[in-house]
Amino acid sequence: MSAPKSKAASFHLLSNEKWQPITIPLFSILLSLIAASIVILLIGKNPLGAFYNLLQGAGILPKPSYAGYKGILTDFLSLLNAMTPLLFASLAVAVAYKAGLFNIGVSGMMLAAGFSATVIIGYSRLNSFLAKPFVLLIGIIVGAIMGAFVGWLKYKFNINEVVSTIMLNNIAQYVFGFFINMYFIDPVSRQSRYILDNSRLTLVNVEYGGLKMDIPLGFILAIAVAVFIKFFMDKTVLGYEIQTVGANRNAAKYAGINVGKNIVLAMVISGALAGLAGVTFYLGYFSSIQPKVLSSVGYDAIAVSLLGNSNPVGIIFSSLLISIISKGSTYMSSIAGIDQDIASVITGTILLFSACGEYIKYKIKRSKDKQLERKGEEA
């Protein structure tokens, strides 16, 4: 295929509005990988080798050798374990965004949910079949309450949700940090005492086929929740109302939609999802809480949601991609001799180009309009 034909085919694919939610993020990822490759070349390394090592470290491709009881399956399950809270957190950001809200307080909601579940269930000797569902339930309730509070402040007093969630992040960070340091600190790790296995949402060191694996119980739930959120937003009246409020509040109000109710509802759902992210992070991927430190997952989720175009299905794949880069960076650094910060550069460039998605749409639309104008003049 000649260069002009190839360019025309690429433009036609990107200009198809039906496929733009898929093609533009993929185009953004391609541009970011090219940019990352240039950076890797500038430091004198092989980009293809680096990306190959990245996939090996994440459990997508096999390594030349493994330590005892380890294999590609253990690496892959570790990837899914890290991805689970990120997926929940990204869905939380997406639901709020659909209502025209920017939930920057996911990390604080995660901490509140994780701390509550740790104190109430994590140190108890409750039967495992009861403890794990209760952990999830507490995460949902605590997150939903915090989300409802933010939504109520927005509706009742028009307090910008960015301001209120940032304040809640700081309150959660230091209040729960105080209680951990006073009552639940482990003198060796200087983190909260480790929770008991009966309440942990990850089955640790499960032996099967000569391997010791960490099985994330919350992963299947996260996928199911993503599918449900997609159905809820696209096929239900409440989902339609939330999106209408997000698109134009004045028009929604004129159409008879209760704007305040939907703002609060969207933040309740967003908070509940953030709570699930918190319990799968602090009582799943990890088993303790570092005091006075907010997880970066809540902030990474903003970028992942953006990359996934706030579409739950797209978010599944974008959270997988970012988790691969994060998990594979250590192995890439040790084998290829590339600093781990390069992984952050790759992630940053992906998110940078993703943020340009609307601009890319604008340029494509403008090119299409110019082509139509030329055809009209020729006719």
- Nearest-angstrom CA–CA distance, 307 and 366: 23
The set of residues, in sequence order, having a beta carbon less than 8 Å from that of 43 and lying 6+ positions away, is 338, 342
At 256, list the tokens: 């008879």
Angle subtended by helix axes 72-98 and 297-307, to nearest 10: 80
Burial class (CB in 10 A: 0-12, 13-18, 19+), 277: buried
The per-residue DSSP string of 5-23 comes to HHHHHHHHHHH-TTTHHHH
At 194, list the tokens: 């480790």
pTM for this entry: 0.91
The per-residue DSSP string of 69-138 comes to T--HHHHHHHHHHHHHHHHHHHHHHHHHHHTT-----HHHHHHHHHHHHIIIIITS---HHHHHHHHHHH
pLDDT for position 11: 56
User: Cα–chain-centroid distance for residue 3?
Assistant: 37
pLDDT for position 25: 78
Q: Where does CATH 1.10.3470 sit in the chain?
A: 66-337
pLDDT for position 361: 73
Question: Mean pLDDT for each consecutive 10-residue tract of the chain (379 residues)?
Answer: 55 66 78 85 88 93 90 95 97 96 96 98 95 98 98 94 96 96 95 96 92 95 97 96 95 94 97 98 96 93 88 93 89 83 76 71 76 71
- Fold that domain 66-337 belongs to in CATH: ABC transporter involved in vitamin B12 uptake, BtuC (1.10.3470)
- Nearest-angstrom CA–CA distance, 84 and 73: 17
Cα angle: 316, vertex 319, 323; to 5 degrees: 140
pLDDT for position 379: 60
Would residue 64 be called left, alpha or beta, if left means φ above 0 and alpha means ψ between -120 and 50 degrees?
alpha
Of 304, 370, 246, give the one whose Cα is nearest residue 28: 304
- Nearest-angstrom CA–CA distance, 32 and 348: 8
Alpha helices per DSSP H over 281-356: 297-307, 312-336, 341-355
Residue 276 Cα distances to 92, 163, 241, 282, angstroms: 9, 23, 24, 10
